[in-house]
Structure 1
Amino acid sequence: MSTSKKEKPYTSNLKGVAALLGEGFVQTEAQDSSPYNIAINLIKLPSSQPRRYFDSEKLRQLALSIQEHGILEPLLVRPQGQEYELVAGERRLRAAKMGGLEKVPVIVKELNDQEALQISLIENLAREDLNSVEETEGILQFISLRLEQNTQDIISLLYRMQNEAKGKVTQNVLGSKESITIQSVFNTLGTISWESFVSSRLPLLKLPQDVLDVLRLGKIEYTKATAIARVKNDLERKALMEAAITENLSLVQINERIKSFRTSDSQPTSLKERYKQVSTRLQKAPVWENPKKQKALEKLLVQIELLLNENSSE
């Protein structure tokens, strides 16, 4: 099995790390880049980790690959007393533990807290399976570290930059040191422009929490999630989200269902029509494989049969 670039983030992204952290990083990196094996139980996770969600199936597949081929790229750690703190490679570390490895190859590097967190953020931002919410939060956190400001201040600054670029204000924000640093970060990352980030990504952070949670797990595209978030009714939004995922609805289909919600608000749907709609959705839904839901369905069917029997006896 070949190793993708995202399975070896430290070496393959070293150029990007150096570009974002500066020449000092390049010089010290050249001094100590020889990997060696250490006991896996000596590696501890840092208290602040940029990545929060891991696909269990992909992790299992990587664990199988590691069992067969070993870890092809070393983890990056920094010394912490008699132990080591992980800086880059959490996915490989988790998979190595799943695969039963006792030792893993590492590169040990002296890093301060800010350098370690910045490298972790850069590694996270370079993932192929990075979802839009993780990317948004990661970029904000990275800029926050660079400018030594909290993320809310960074968001405010980005919106001021946008307003000035559109000619709405004349504050000369775009010429400030902070603005130039922000533009430099986006240019170096090369994944999205700061203008697109402000217009399409920052609004994601204002989505309802249930939509954000699903988006973070990578179960749905952000364009679909944004559309679903327009549904204000919690129950309707949850039902639409489940349908979008299980039935793989297109954005067009999602918008059609949102229109049907609005129509039903102004003109109540008849019971007969509602039954037709529910029946159609029920045929495609995965509830038939769920034993608990099967019992609930059985009870509902019994009630319907009783109603029909009552009508036939009248």
Structure 2
Amino acid sequence: MAGRRDLQAALTSDDQGLAFVFGNKKSSSEQIEAVVAQVPQQTVSITLIHTSFSFAPNRQPYRHFYDQAQITAWAKGEIAKNGIRSALWVRPMPSQPDEFELIAGLRRLKAAKILGLAEVPVRVFELDDAAAYQAMRAENRDREEPTPLEDLDGTLNLLAIRLDTSVPEVISLLYRMDNEARGKVANQIVLGSPKAVIVEEVFADSGISWQSFLSSRLRLLKLPAEILDAIRESKLQYTKALEVAKVKDPEARQQLLDDAILEDTSISDIKVRVKQENRSASEKTTLRSQFDEVYKRVKKSKALEDPKNIKTLQKIMAQLEQLAGQ
């Protein structure tokens, strides 16, 4: 059982310890809690806790979206009545050891600030960047299933840390591994390499293969850039953003995205707008196709040579020129 292991060994950045406590999907919530419970809980001033997330490659929290209305209701209801019952996870600030950097518990921290609490309960961990990120990822995944994009970004960030490289380089490595596995290249250079071994280890702890991750998750990166930005910047919920992404016309999609963020549009209303926009785009496409077809037929016919048609064609041309000038 996790509780019987030495805490420092379990929380250091060695691969075995991290996989055992935070990285291994086989570890139960009870096992993780048993290890964490060995770290004394203390109370610190809320002003000493920083949300810089310097240990994360993207300098962002694990969760993409925090519903302010829900947090406010939760704070004024449950938290106001019962207090914060689960301590926040923090580590000493690398540059300010007397202050703390949040690892996990951003929702609780936001609730405390809403209530104007002066102090919050914390557990202080002496973790390096790699261990801190794995701890943040594990704690958040244990509390609530991540969205597919949160899972994608979290896994890519973890791989970037373990491989000591950038997220784009991680993506490139996964595609090169896939090409070799599928026999698309003559020589196998990447598979079996030290980097590929680390990739295999990370996914073994996650409970899925890297091939499944590549096919089911990496495709999300093909979403429009403005959609990905809105999700990652906590401007719009994942499910709402996916609906907005279904709008085919780029300008109409951007307008709907802006409206959804500004007006906090419900997902049902977004779906209605998406259907309207795509129907309108389809009608425009059909009209454009009809115009092109008629234009080709007129050019090939003898209608332009018949004097009887000149006045009619001149009127049509005048109307088209007027429309083109609008």
Question: TM-score scaled by structure 1?
Answer: 0.64
What is the total number of aligned residue pairs between the two structures? Answer: 247
Displacement of 1:209: 2.7
CA displacement 1:257-298 (0-9 Å, x = unmatched): 64762452242599xxxxxxxxxxxxxxxxxxxxxxxxxxxx
What is aligned with 1:157?
173
Q: Is the Cα contact below 8 Å between 1:204 and 1:226 reproduced in 2?
A: no
| Structure 2, unaligned runs of 5 or more | 1-10, 12-17, 26-31, 291-326
Displacement of 1:141: 0.9
1:207 to 204, 208, 223: 223
**Any residues of structure 2 matched to 1:24-39 within 5 Å, and which?**
32-39=38-45
What is aligned with 2:73?
61
The worse-fitting range, judged by mean Cα deviation, of 205-214 and 89-98 is 205-214
1:218 to 237, 250, 272: 237
SS of equivalent to 2:121: strand
| Structure 1, unaligned runs of 5 or more | 1-9, 21-25, 271-314
Displacement of 1:73: 1.3
Q: Is the Cα contact below 8 Å between 2:24 and 2:206 reproduced in 1?
A: no
SS of equivalent to 1:54: coil
**Any residues of structure 2 matched to 1:67-106 within 5 Å, and which?**
67-80=80-93, 81-106=97-122
Q: Distance in 2 between matches of 1:200 and 1:222?
A: 18
Displacement of 1:144: 0.3
RMSD (Å) for aligned C-alpha atoms: 3.8
SS of equivalent to 1:249: helix
SS of equivalent to 1:72: coil
Alpha carbons of structure 1 residues 238 and 79: separation in structure 2 relative to 1, 3 Å: closer
What is aligned with 2:61?
50
Q: Distance in 1 between matches of 2:42 and 2:19?
A: 18
Displacement of 1:159: 0.8
Amino acid at match of 2:44: I
Displacement of 1:148: 0.6
Amino acid at match of 2:22: V
Amino acid at match of 1:187: A
Alpha carbons of structure 1 residues 41 and 154: separation in structure 2 relative to 1, 3 Å: same
Q: Distance in 2 between matches of 1:268 and 1:244?
A: 33
Amino acid at match of 1:55: D
2:284 to 247, 264, 285: 264
Q: Distance in 2 between matches of 1:168 and 1:223?
A: 32
Q: Is the Cα contact below 8 Å between 2:224 and 2:245 reproduced in 1?
A: no
What is aligned with 2:139?
123
Alpha carbons of structure 1 residues 168 and 107: separation in structure 2 relative to 1, 3 Å: same
Q: Distance in 2 between matches of 1:117 and 1:155?
A: 19
What is aligned with 1:178?
195
Question: TM-score scaled by structure 2?
Answer: 0.62
Alpha carbons of structure 1 residues 176 and 255: separation in structure 2 relative to 1, 3 Å: farther
Q: Distance in 2 between matches of 1:248 and 1:16?
A: 41
